[in-house]
Amino acid sequence: MVVRSLLHQAKQGLCLPFVIEVEGRFVGQVTVSNVARGSAQWGSIGYWVAADVAGRGVAPRAVALVIDHCFGPVGLHRVEICVRPENTNSLRVVEKLGLEQVGYSPRFLHIDGAWRDHRIFAVTVEECPEGIMSRLTTHQSHQ
């Protein structure tokens, strides 16, 4: 049901669903949702990876590739990633990518039976003309 909905939205240009594979095994997903065209040209990125690959750089790499794809062939101008303040793993992903926090949204999404706050991170194509993937490579070489 979820896959069918994503594929339907993708055909309409409203989202870009991607799977993450490691050694041929499905281990996660990156989805660009709420794609807006016209004067906005932006989308919101969500992601997850399986616990056994977390902390191995899989999520940052996958998100970086998707952002570069959004800024390249897809033609978006801005992407956002919204993260719950207590989600240290996802916060580490946006940190590795060098994304700046641009806002804080109280009671942003209804998750696990309650409205949850989110930190909002964003980047525009002008802020990374070399691509997000190059930021990730630079960050890793300084560790």
Assign residue 76 the CATH number of its domain.
Answer: 3.40.630.30
Mapped onto helix, strand or coil, the DSSP state of residue 105 is strand
Q: What is the pTM of this model?
A: 0.91
Whether 16 and 41 have beta carbons less than 8 Å apart is answered as no
Three state DSSP letters for 7-33: HHHHHCCCCEEEEEEECCEEEEEEEEE
Q: Looking at the 3D structure of the chain, how many domains does it have? A: 1
Q: Express each pLDDT in 56-115 by its tens digit.
A: 999 999 999 999 999 999 999 999 999 999 999 999 999 999 999 999 999 999 999 999
Q: Express each pLDDT in 106-128 by its tens digit.
A: 999 999 999 999 999 999 999 98
Nearest-angstrom CA–CA distance, 33 and 36: 9
Quote the pLDDT of residue 141: 53
Q: How far is CA 81 from the centre of its chain?
A: 5
Q: Which domain holds residue 106?
A: 2-141
